[in-house]
Structure 1
Amino acid sequence: MNNPNLTTQLIQLTMIKKGIIWTLGIFVVLAISGWGIYIIRQQQSYQSVVHKKSRALLTISLDDILLNQFFDKWQTALRGGQDFAKKLNKLKDNGIDIKANVFLFSLEDSAKNFYAFFDLKDEKQFLTFLKEGLAVDAIENNAAPGVNYAYQEANKIAFVWKGRELLVGLGFNLDKKKDEMLQLIQSDSERISIEHFIDRPSELTRASLRYSNISTNNFIEFDLKGSRIEIAGELQSSTWNFPQEYLVRELVKENYISKGWINFPNQGLKTTIKRILTDLPIAADSIMAHANGDYVDIEILNSQVVQTDTIINYAVNDNFETVAEKTPYENKVPNVSLSIRGDAELSKFLPDKLFYQWFQRKDKQSYLLSTAPAKDNLQSKYTKTNSLSHVAIHLADWPDALKVTPILILKAIASDMDLSLKVSRSNQLILQGTIRDYSHK
């Protein structure tokens, strides 16, 4: 005898199974369709054109960035980062046909300016975007026959367009690149598609953003991984001959704002550091001449120290004589220490006062400067490494009063940064690093 309840239950189970199968089927179809669209958009982007004489490429993988929901991750950032994300959001309705990947090219040996060709979908919408979205300084019609030009100093961006063709320029001194941009938009014969310009163009799009030097094969990649950006790169030169082992001071592991060190056995690096020091009121030439240990490090701790200074005022006494009145006062300053490796003469040229008072002591082959009073019995520890340099910054703790522009810009959207430059071979360096956003806290 049949059990009606059992039959009903079997029918219900069958219907549930069919429902699950249909649901899974729909998800599979949507996934395959989405993946197919992604692949097609990738392939279509390889038809993008660059100049035949391009020296470097900057690739932005827009579809991958959107898949990682990059800008949604910065909603917990500082106000500057949120404002930055809102500005980027305005770039959507711009009348420009933007592919899955954007390929910007540079014609310079040392790339400072990049260009990219696009197709205009809607010139009216594009003009609205220039005026309202970017608030460009001015639009020059017929800068060349049938060619229009617009430039905005604040965002370091320029536009040249002719009919449905658009050339966008990004970088420094673009106001001096106007003639070059006008020539580029009018020279069709000098363009070549990415898939014909470089072998395996898919390598250019394996990360969210990639800089590639065409002649040296050097590259730097930035890849979005949820709440962080992974940085990787390879740099090489036939003129390099780096040692593969270095002795560095062990820096603090916690309670710091910033720490880092660099070895500079290469004359090019030494010249770069000397150039940076030249901007400070110190004896840069003498310091670098005696810094023959080719090493410097710095720590900025997340604390302050008290320094005692003196204010000198001049007054007239009862005998009408000018006398100096000294008034001591205490001042809280950042807790900073740095060390420089050099010869015995180096200490003569290190500053006693530069923004703050500096206390000096000797430690093995290094001279240590600190805003905290020197402790002669304190000896630093050293360790061996294959890293040419390393830097770590808690951007969230970086004081706004310390106006290092690149760091303040990055602080708006990121909380931490960690970078290392390792020696792989005597003529090759490997870059590794991470930048974290505020959402991981």
Structure 2
Amino acid sequence: MIKKGIIWTLGIIVGLAIIGWGIYIVRQQQSYKSVVHKKSKALLTISLDDILLNQLFDNWQTAPKGGQDFAKKLTKLKDNGIDIKANVFLFSLEDSAKNFYAFLDLKNEKQFLTFLKEGLSVDSIENNAAPGVNYAYHNANKIAFVWKGDALLVGLGFYLDKKKEEMLRLIQSDTDRISIENFINHPGELTRKSLRYSDISTKNFVEFDLKGNRIEIMGELQSNTWNFPQEYLVRELVDADYIGKGWVNFPDKRLKTLIKDILVDLPLAADSIMAHANGDYVDIEVLNNQVVQTDTIINYAVNDNFETVEEKTPYESKVPNVRLSVRGDAGLPKFLPNKLFYQWFQKRDDQVSILSTAPTIDKLQSKYAKTNSLSHLAIHLADWPNGLKVAPVLMLKAFASDMDLSLKVVRSNQLILQGTIRDYSYE
């Protein structure tokens, strides 16, 4: 009897597993009937069933308040009146994707309106923005909705406030839509990971796979216009006691232009720096301690002879311990700042100019190594100080504790992206 009971129990478990797997497969196949615009230039695929199977949101509940708030917002997607398939396919019509749209089915408009008002706290809903079409936009969450009957178009992005007319045209045009299974030869390739970005023309992609307490990142990028060297000489950065570190080689003109555009927003001689930074290499280390800097406050007073005199008062302050190095020619040092947010002390090391907030920079002994990586970035997000207001880093800090990314050159025209983001349950 005991043996029969075990057999029956095992049979039931196997049967439930088969039924569950069958439901999973059916839901996958049904999702391939989702539609996108036939002129889509990029796709963003979210594999919701896979995310739920990984139970990532349960692990995120162990995060600090910022991460918990983020997870609670995601749980509000339940009971929203929208028929959400196993996979959601968002498309972009832009050459450089900044905004994405997804066509979904609206199954309960009353429930959907409750979700907009209570779940997302949308300020206002514009009825009849076009004949029979309603519109809602929420700037805080960078999300917009237009719906007509049971057809719903969701928009995600940073410039959606300027895309209202485009969204209204998309919801009113049926002829420009095509199913995923007819748009892509092998739609299953889009749903191999939890989230995937795919460029349609170049076939470049980046995948994010949610695995318990971490996100694994993998991508392939290539272009016939690239001609990257396959070996680089980089400074060996610290292995421990750091908040963030990273380096980038920029032999490609477009990468160099991107870095120059970042510098232009700072009070620096950007053109001169980039002209002398002919070594095409920059690195940075933010160490997990502070250093003391001495500065002077200058005041003016009137002496007994009624003459204006200058009074100097020294004071000390603690600042982040940061090192920054740039490879360039002998003329580069004179264009680097002595003061930008903090005081910077400088050392020339062969072809590299090193800046540091620590006055002891002269004692630093640098070593160099060869690598095939174009760039590398590692950040202990949990330790990142809120005072260093780097917006993308602070956004990640809300739900992640560590991030590590590398961009490797496998061929002169092909790069591989690899990395990991860990959430707070890792601790």
Do the structures match in fold with TM over 0.5? yes
In the TM superposition, residue 137 of structure 1 has moved relative to its aligned partner by: 2.5
In structure 2, the partner of 1:353 is 339
Q: What is the rounded CA distance, in whole Å, between the counterparts of 2:361 and 2:325 in structure 1?
A: 14
CA positional deviation for 1:376: 3.4
Q: 1:51 aligns with which of 28, 37, 48?
A: 37
Pairing of 1:192-207 with structure 2 (within 5 A): 192-207=178-193
**Whole-angstrom CA distance in 1 between matches of 2:63 and 2:306:** 61
Confirm or deny: 8 A CA contact 1:74 1:81 kept in the other structure: yes
Q: Which amino acid aligns with 2:18?
A: I
Kindly provide the CA deviation profile for residues 352-389 of structure 1, in whole angstroms up to 9, marking residues without a partner as x: 11111111111111000011114435431000000000
Please give the per-residue CA displacement for 1:34-60, whole angstroms capped at 9, x wherever unaligned: 000000000000000000000000000
Q: Verify the 8 A CA contact 1:361 1:374 in the aligned structure 2.
A: no
Of residues 268, 275, 279, the one that matches 1:282 is: 268
1:27 equivalent in structure 2: 13
> For residues 400 and 16 of structure 1, what CA distance do their matches in structure 2 show?
61
- Pick aligned residue for 2:153 from 167, 184, 187: 167
In 2, are the aligned partners of 1:360 and 1:374 still within 8 Å (CA)? no
Shift of 1:238: 1.0
Q: Are the counterparts in 1 of residues 220 and 417 from structure 2 also a CA contact under 8 Å?
A: yes
Q: Could you report, residue by residue, the CA deviation over 1:150-207 in whole angstroms, capped at 9, with x for unpaired residues?
A: 1111111111111111111111221211111111111111111000100110010000
- Amino acid of the structure 1 residue aligned with 2:327: R
Q: Is the 8 A contact 2:346 2:361 kept in 1?
A: no
Matched, 1:112 2:98: yes
State the AA in 2 paired with 1:203: E
What is the TM-score normalised by the length of structure 1? 0.96
Paired AA for residue 353 in structure 2: Y
Query: What residue ranges of structure 1 are gaps of 5+ in the alignment?
Result: 1-14
Whether the aligned pair in 2 keeps the contact of 1:360 and 1:368 (CA below 8 Å) is yes
Which has the higher Rg, Structure 1 or Structure 2?
Answer: 1
Report the counterpart of residue 125 of structure 2 in structure 1: 139
Once the two structures are superposed, the pairs formed by residues 208-227 of structure 1 within 5 Å of their partners are 208-227=194-213
Secondary structure at the residue paired with 1:37? helix
Aligned residue identity for 1:146: G
8 Å CA contact 2:244, 2:380 repeated in 1: yes
CA spacing shift, 1:84–1:378, aligned 2, 3 Å: closer
Q: Secondary structure at the match of 1:296?
A: strand
Is 1:315 paired with 2:289?
Answer: no
* Of 176, 187, 192, the match for 2:162: 176
Look up the match of 1:411.
397
| Cα gap change, 1:47 to 1:375, in 2 (>3 Å) | closer
CA contact (8 A) 1:139 1:149 kept: yes
3-state SS of 1:230 partner = strand
Give the deviation of 1:119 after TM superposition.
0.7
Q: In the alignment, what sits opposite 2:63?
A: 77
1:376 and 1:177 map into 2 onto residues whose CA distance is: 53
Deviations 1:402-437 (A, max 9, x none): 111111010010000000000011011100000001
Q: Which string of whole-angstrom CA distances, capped at 9 and with x for unpartnered residues, describes residues 259-302 of structure 1?
A: 00000000000000000011111111100000000000000000
Partner of 1:10: none
Number of the residue aligned with 2:225: 239
Q: Is 1:399 the counterpart of 2:370 in the alignment?
A: no
3-state DSSP of counterpart to 1:376: helix
1:164 and 1:365 mapped to 2: Cα distance? 64
Structure-to-structure mapping, 1:90-109, within 5 angstroms = 90-109=76-95
Contact preservation (8 Å) 2:230, 2:410: yes
- Is the 2:345–2:361 contact (alpha carbons within 8 Å) kept by the matching residues of 1? no
What is the alpha-carbon distance in structure 1 between the residues aligned to residue 364 and residue 194 of structure 2?
46
- Contact 2:180–2:187 (CA<8 Å) still a contact in 1? yes
1:73 & 1:375 partners in 2: Cα distance?
42
Question: Which residue among 42, 45, 51 is the counterpart of 1:65?
Answer: 51
Partners of 1:411 and 1:82 lie apart in 2 by: 12
- Describe the shift of the 1:179–1:378 C-alpha distance in structure 2 as closer, same or farther (beyond 3 A): closer
Matched residues, percent identical?
82
In the alignment, the residues of structure 2 paired with residue 135 and residue 338 of structure 1 have an alpha-carbon distance, to the nearest angstrom, of: 43
Cα RMSD, aligned residues only: 0.9
> Which residue, 420, 433, 436 being the options, matches 2:406?
420
Aligned partner (choices 285, 292, 310) of residue 324 of structure 1? 310
| Residue type of the alignment partner of 2:305 | N
Task: Note if contact 1:137-1:153 (Cα within 8 Å) is conserved in structure 2.
Answer: no
**For residues 35 and 46 of structure 2, what CA distance do their matches in structure 1 show?**
14
Q: Which amino acid aligns with 2:382?
A: A
Q: Which moved more, 1:223-232 or 1:321-330?
A: 321-330
Distance 1:176 1:384, change over 3 A: same
- CA distance in 2 between counterparts of 1:70 and 1:309 reads 48
1:90 is displaced (CA, Å) by 1.0
Q: Residue 246 of structure 1 contacts residue 384 of structure 1 at CA under 8 Å; is this kept in 2?
A: yes
Deviations 1:229-256 (A, max 9, x none): 0000011111110000000000000000
Q: Find the counterpart in structure 2 of residue 339 from structure 1.
A: 325
Deviation at 1:330, TM superposition (A): 1.1
Gaps of 5+ in 2: none
Matching of residue 369 in structure 1 with residue 355 in structure 2? yes
